[in-house]
Chains A and B, each alone.
Chain A
Amino acid sequence: QLQLQESGSGLVMPSQTLSLTCSVSGDSITTGEYSWSWIRQPPGKALEWIGYISQRGSTYYNPPLKSRVTMSIDTSKNHFSLNLTSVTAADTAVYFCARGHRGLHPSYYFDYWGHGTLVTVSS
C-alpha cells in the first residue's frame, strides 16, 4: 500500500521560505507514469493545487503561485519537496502531498494523499 508522509517546518516567519518534504513508501517514486503534487487547504477554505513534478523532474506550477514555488525530486531517497518563498499569512494552510494519476486522461487526478501538515506563517 502506497503511503505518503509530509514533513517540514510547521511555523515560518513572514517573508521567509516554507520548505516541506513528502516521503513516499510502499513503492518506488519512479514506478509508472505518475506525477507528484502539492495541494494546500487554508483554514476554512477549499483545496488549492500548487504544482506537479514528474519522476524525471519536469515541473508545472499553478500560475498564481508560479513565481514563488520550486519543487524538486530525489529518486534515491524516494521523496519530493516543496519550497515556497516570500510567504505571508495567506500561505497558512494544511499542505498535502499527493500522487497524480493520468493514464490516458488529459491531466491528473489524485489517488493517494498524505495526511497533511499544518504550516503557520507568523512572527
Chain B
Amino acid sequence: IQMTQSPSTLSASVGDRVIITCRASHSISGWLAWYQKKPGKAPKLLIYKASTLESGVPSRFSGSESGTEFTLTINSLQPDDFATYYCQQYNSFTVTFGGGTKVEIK
C-alpha cells in the first residue's frame, strides 16, 4: 500500500492553521498514524486510528479521514511545531510511511 503525502513542503507562520494530507493507494480502513520528526530526534507519535490523539499530545493537533484520504490539522501553529510530519498505514503487516511534509517558517 503506497502512502502519498502532500504538500511535500509547507511554509506557515506562528498562529496559522496547517493541513497536511495523506492518501492511501488502497483502503486502509482508518488504520493510520501520524508522527512528528525533528532533525536529530526520535519520531513522536501524534495520532493513531486516524483521529485518536496520543496521550500528552496537544489538542491543537487533530486527524480526520474521508475514504482513502486522511488529514492532519494543526490549529494555531506553535514554534515547537516546525518539523516534518509523516503518515503511516498499519492496515497490513507490511506497514508503509508517507514521504513526509516539512512545515517551515514563513
Chain A, interface residues (CB within 8 Å), range: 20 to 34
Contacts of A113 in B (CB 8 A): 42-44
Across the two chains, which residue of chain A brings its CB closest to B49?
A105
Q: Quick check: A106 and B90 within 8 Å, CB to CB?
A: yes
Complex CA gap A115/B40 in Å reads: 7
Complex CA gap A30/B58 in Å reads: 30
Chain B, interface residues (CB within 8 Å), range: 20 to 34
The digit string for A78-106, where 1 denotes a CB below 8 A from any CB of B, is 00000000000000000010100100011
Would you call B73 an interface residue if the criterion is a C-beta within 8 Å of the partner chain's C-beta atoms? Answer: no
Contact of B91 among A46, A96, A107, A111 (CB under 8 A): A107
How many pairs of residues, A versus B, come closer than 8 Å at their CB atoms? 64
Contacts of B45 in A (CB 8 A): 109-111
Most interface-central of B35, B91, B92, B94 (chain A CB within 10 A): B94
Would you call A47 an interface residue if the criterion is a C-beta within 8 Å of the partner chain's C-beta atoms? Answer: yes
Binding site for A on B (CB under 8 A): 29, 31, 33, 35, 37, 40-45, 48-49, 54, 86, 88, 90-100
Interface CB pairs A-B, < 8 A, 18: A46-B86, A47-B86, A49-B97, A96-B42, A96-B43, A105-B49, A105-B90, A107-B90, A107-B92, A107-B95, A108-B90, A109-B33, A109-B45, A109-B88, A109-B95, A110-B33, A115-B41, A115-B42
